[in-house]
Amino acid sequence: MNIGLDARLLSYRRGMGNFLYNLIVELSQLDPTNQYTLYTNQPHHLTLPANFQTKIISMPSYPLWEQIALPLAARRDNIAVLHCPANTGPLWLSPKVRLVLTIHDVMYLLPTSILPRSPSVYQQLGRLYRRTVVPLAIKRADAIVTDSYYSRQDIVQYLKWPETKIQVVWGAPHRACQVITDPTILADIRAKYALHQPFILGLGGVDPRKNTTKIIEAFALLKQDLSGLKLLLVGLPHNAQASFRQQAANFDIADQVIFAGFVPEMDLVALYNLAELLVYPSLYEGFGLPVLEAMACGTPVVTAPSGSIPEVAGASAIFVDPTNATDLSQAMSRILSDPPFAQRLRDLGFAQVKQFSWQRAAVEMLQIYTAKNYV
């Protein structure tokens, strides 16, 4: 069988890009029989077996690439199954090509009263495109896949799609997410990011749903009780840090907050290992992979009962109201001041993360690709 994948996000190692990367790596180890064609708009650095080939398609914009170039390429290459793993897909596609569509979440369909509007024009345009395309693409798809049972219910509610026609395939942390025992690696990362004191790790974002301002506010409350502690915020692009730096200055904690921007994947794994805890008060998640990544590294987690996070975290994290800085601060303080409790969270996290595996995800996706009849 000739299987095509929209692989544009292969080099974008966040969120859906991580999903795609790990899936392709596992499929390349699992399936030596079928032929895979990875369609992308730029080279990638993966070394893959002979039954995987990459084809670079150039188009001036993402919508034109997806709606014109991709379906033409799939038809030309006699693709039997085309997997579009990032919410959207071609609205026109040869009837000979079966479309597998992964819808990670429906946040672009939620009203602003539930999910605040992003200040990023790029994100606003992306949301508009998805609001337009997803309700149409789902009707063309032969199989619908999503990350969590929570997202499946959202798809049922907002896209009016039958629950029985939506298959859930859980993601998992990258295999690199594990406890690091080499002290040299950890010492090098401490030096690289000037982490000479204990620190709390936060994953920031321009999008208001990442709740970065509340992380800073909660840390400011925490600083009233604890000294010698830093907050490390990763994931904020440098051109978007000014307002968050100003917020830290307003709370008189500018010297205690470190903005690291985007960090390489292996650096992030080491940072999980070194952190006292991960604070992740997201307002909405279709899966919430950082929660599992932290647990796999032995890091206690403070998070929110938002979206699919309770499904992913189980009973292995502290859940608090993400809009309440005091609650966030108190949860972090409990972990920092109660070592036995922190260790219990670590042990629970190790047990929880064992339920998630990219090998299992690849097996389940391959079954979907090769199914003779879709639900």
**Distances from the Cα of 13 to the Cαs of 17, 59, 183, 233, in angstroms?**
5, 22, 26, 17
Helix (H) or strand (E) holding 100: strand 98-102
Q: What is the distance between the alpha carbons of residues 201 and 268, in angstroms, rounded to a whole number?
A: 10
Structure tokens that stand for 247 in this block: 């917020």
Q: Are the folds of 2-172+357-370 and 183-353 the same?
A: yes
For residue 295, the tally of other CB atoms under 10 A from its CB is 30
For residue 354, the tally of other CB atoms under 10 A from its CB is 11
Evaluate whether the domain defined by 2-172+357-370 bears CATH number 3.40.50.2000: yes
User: Which amino acid, residue 298?
Assistant: G
Model confidence at 114, pLDDT cuts 50, 70, 90, reads: low
**Distances from the Cα of 264 to the Cαs of 31, 46, 197, 271, in angstroms?**
29, 16, 21, 11
For residue 259, the tally of other CB atoms under 10 A from its CB is 17
Model confidence at 227, pLDDT cuts 50, 70, 90, reads: confident
Model confidence at 3, pLDDT cuts 50, 70, 90, reads: very high
End-to-end CA distance of the chain: 20
CATH number for the region 183-353 comes to 3.40.50.2000
Helix (H) or strand (E) holding 83: strand 81-84
Instruction: Please tell me the pTM assigned to this model.
Output: 0.90
| Domain boundaries, given as residue ranges, for the chain | 2-172+357-370, 183-353
Structure tokens that stand for 80 in this block: 């039997």
Residue-wise pLDDT tens digits, 279-319: 999 999 989 999 999 999 999 999 999 999 999 999 999 99
Edge-to-edge strands of the sheet including 81-84?
Answer: 52-56, 35-40, 2-6, 81-84, 98-102, 143-146, 166-168
Q: What is the distance between the alpha carbons of residues 58 and 241, in angstroms, rounded to a whole number?
A: 32
